[in-house]
Amino acid sequence: MNHEALMNDPDLQRIALACLDYWNAEPLPLDQRSICYKWVARRYATMFGGSFHQTRLVELERLGFLAKDDTSRGGDRRYYRLTDPVRLAEILKSCNAN
C-alpha cells in the first residue's frame, strides 16, 4: 500500500473513507463484501456532499488499497474489495480524515 500518496491527497482520503464506511456497514462476512462506484458515490455524497469520478477508485486500486473483485455478477459495474480495511482505517485516522 502506498500510504504516502493517500496522505498527500485529502480528496482521495475522503473517497477511501467513504469506501471504508460502506465496507464496514455491509452485513456480509468479510470474504463476501465488495464495493462498487455507485454504492461508494452515494455514501460519499451523504458524508461529504458532491461527487467524484470513478477513476479515483482505480487510483485506490493502483495504490494497493482496493483490489478487483468478482466480475461475474454481470452488468458493467467494476467491483472491488478492500485489501486491508484495518490498515486503511489506521492510515485514515493518522491523516485526520473526516
Domains of the chain (ranges plus CATH)?
3-94 (1.10.10.10)
> Whose CA is closest to 23, among 51, 49, 57, 54?
57
Beta strands in 1-98 (DSSP E): 35-36, 66-68, 79-82
Chain mean position to CA 17: 7
Q: How far is 87 from 61, CA to CA, in rounded Å?
A: 15
Q: For the chain, give the percent of residues with pLDDT over 70.
A: 92
- How many percent of the chain have pLDDT more than 90? 68
Per-residue pLDDT tens for 65-90? 999 987 665 667 789 999 999 999 99
53-66 pLDDT, tens digit per residue, is 999 999 999 999 99
The model's pTM is: 0.90
